Amino acid sequence: MRRAALTLAALAILAPSLPAQCPDGSLPPCGPRPQPRAAASPTSIAVLYFENLSRDTADAYLADGLTEELTGRLGDVERLRVSGRSAVRRAQQASGDDLAAVGRALNVRYLVEGSLRRSGPQVRISTRLLRASDGVRVWGDTYDRTMTDLLALQEDIAREVAANVAGQLLPDERARLASRPTDDPQAYDHYLRGSYAVGRRSEAGFQRAVAEFDLALRRDPRFAAAEARKAYALVMSFAYGAEWASRDSLLAWGTRSAARAIRLDSLSPDAWMARGVAATWFEHDLPTCVADLRRAAELGPRNAEVQHSLGVALMWIGEDTAATASFRRALALDPLRAVTLLDLAEGALVTGDPASAGGLIDSAITLDPDQARPYMYRAGLRLDRGDLAGALADAETGRRLATTGIRPYAVAALVAVSAALGDTAAARAHLAELAAIGPTAPLGRALLVVGATDSALTVLERVEPLPISWLDLRLPGFEAVRTVPRFQRIEARWRDVALHRR
């Protein structure tokens, strides 16, 4: 149970085919939209993913890394409104080479596009700044440099783009654009490879990322950004249930790495984010986690991942209104983050707003159809509406996509649908599968579905709650026992663990 509960909640912290449309015929995210749409800000810009023209497809890490580092540098100029990376990627996937359509989708005034071609130690980078409405070239250049010049080249491109969009740059803005995470080109190359691996969101990716960040740190032991990303990769390895190292060692290693990153750079949002997440898993201390993530959000107000992580932690301690605000800030920065849409939907379920939750879940599935969690939630909503066929399809899809950690939740959804369909044999079989896993909140919820209230409460009393567990009891499925004193005592105990009350 411990592993299952940890992995499910951890997936909510994380870390990308648009549907044809939302139920109302509009493009996702689904739900109410402001009308009319505001005009694009005069200093709004999106950095499109650079095209890798190298013969070696493995150089994709360089093209992606250049794109994301350029996005980050421009984002440090407060006068610029820079589109989030996942929104850019999805807009490009949806609109292809139609740059005007990409610009409309992102609601930006300018687009940066480019290509990269590497040949041995030499790299050619072509970059153009375009007016999004008509594709007119505002600025552009082609650079032939060696890989050792990559850091300086990024500064040059960022400075030219910023100046052409925002006008004359202030000294502080120039300083931000010129800041370097390291002066060692080879360390920086390992850092880009590690960041690319983190983006794969897989056990193998996190393991590769840690190895690359270690190589970067061997060359530059004071490379704070590499240490912070290493810490995050280690903690996420734990969250994903990675088996390339023991779970205890991953947590201890990640906590040490986060602490060292903060010593190297106390103003690093990534370091505080990693430290906050590690506080949850290693110290079981959500209040400290929230405090660290709030610090990360103060330092990185334009970092969507930090805002999202803070929202998740706030949900865990029951600060639902603040959590919703944090999720909305993340979406304002990066509107097409499927995981944020899903966690916002989870918040709507907790606060009793299934209509809003449904639209958000549809959007999350549209944007990332390969995650199990939204199908499990939608199965419950469809069941409540009497759509048994749809509920069964979603529950089966959720079970098929479920990783080991969230399997109990997927099986519990199948218990509920099977019971509603009158398929008692299937319901019993799924219950037996759940019981074999051990006492969990999903088993308790499933027992309530089949009317075994006393057994359900007994199971919940046997669960050793973790700080993240309280959210399980606040989600739909326990309505029948919310006023029962025995359940209220269980929930109070779980709440105290979440709030770190001894």
**What is the average per-residue pLDDT within 116-125?**
89
- Domains of the chain listed by start with CATH number: 44-180 (3.40.50.10070), 183-299 (1.25.40.10)
Give the per-residue pLDDT at 29.
52
- The pLDDT tens digits for 64-92 are 888 988 988 898 888 998 988 878 888 88
Q: Categorize the per-residue pLDDT at 277 as very low, low, confident or very high, splitting at 50, 70 and 90.
A: confident
φ, ψ for residue 45 (rounded to 5)? -150, 150
Give the per-residue pLDDT at 303.
87
Strand pairing report for 44-47 and 81-82:
parallel
pLDDT beyond 80 at 257: yes
User: Token match 């602490």: residue?
Assistant: 259
pLDDT beyond 90 at 423: yes
Q: Categorize the per-residue pLDDT at 30 as very low, low, confident or very high, splitting at 50, 70 and 90.
A: low
Give the per-residue pLDDT at 285.
85
Q: Categorize the per-residue pLDDT at 232 as very low, low, confident or very high, splitting at 50, 70 and 90.
A: confident
pLDDT beyond 60 at 11: no
Give the per-residue pLDDT at 4.
35
pLDDT beyond 70 at 269: yes
Q: Categorize the per-residue pLDDT at 203 as very low, low, confident or very high, splitting at 50, 70 and 90.
A: confident
Q: At what angle do helices 485-498 and 453-462 cross, to 10 degrees?
A: 30
Give the per-residue pLDDT at 37.
58
Q: Categorize the per-residue pLDDT at 379 as very low, low, confident or very high, splitting at 50, 70 and 90.
A: very high
In contact, 227 and 260? CB cutoff 8 Å: yes
Give the per-residue pLDDT at 323.
96
**Who has greater pLDDT, 12 or 127?**
127
10 Å CB burial of residue 252 (0-12, 13-18, 19+) is middle
Say how far apart CA 445 and CA 385 lie, in whole Å: 19
- The pLDDT tens digits for 307-362 are 999 999 999 999 999 999 999 999 888 887 888 999 999 999 999 999 999 999 99
- Mean pLDDT for all residues in the chain: 86
**Who has greater pLDDT, 378 or 23?**
378
**What is the average per-residue pLDDT within 399-415?**
90
Which of the given ranges, 47-61, 153-167, 280-294, has the highest pLDDT on average? Answer: 153-167
**What is the average per-residue pLDDT within 197-224?**
90
Give the per-residue pLDDT at 245.
80
Give the per-residue pLDDT at 413.
96
φ, ψ for residue 60 (rounded to 5)? -60, -30
For 446, residues 6+ apart whose C-beta sits below 8 A from its C-beta are 411, 412, 415, 416, 430, 431, 434
Give the per-residue pLDDT at 198.
84
Say how far apart CA 211 and CA 236 lie, in whole Å: 14
pLDDT beyond 70 at 1: no
In contact, 340 and 28? CB cutoff 8 Å: no
In contact, 289 and 275? CB cutoff 8 Å: no
pLDDT beyond 60 at 10: no
Say how far apart CA 387 and CA 14 lie, in whole Å: 31
**What is the average per-residue pLDDT within 170-174?**
88
Q: At what angle do helices 354-367 and 373-384 cross, to 10 degrees?
A: 140
Give the per-residue pLDDT at 35.
46
Other Cβ atoms within 10 Å of 256 Cβ, number: 15
Percentage, residues of the chain above pLDDT 90:
53
Give the per-residue pLDDT at 149.
86
Of 16-20, 23-27, 445-449, the one with minimum mean pLDDT is 16-20
pLDDT beyond 60 at 119: yes
For 440, residues 6+ apart whose C-beta sits below 8 A from its C-beta are 1, 4, 5, 408, 434, 459, 463
**Who has greater pLDDT, 239 or 494?**
494
Question: Strand, coil or helix: what is 368?
Answer: coil
Say how far apart CA 317 and CA 280 lie, in whole Å: 11
pLDDT beyond 90 at 445: yes
Q: Categorize the per-residue pLDDT at 17 as very low, low, confident or very high, splitting at 50, 70 and 90.
A: very low
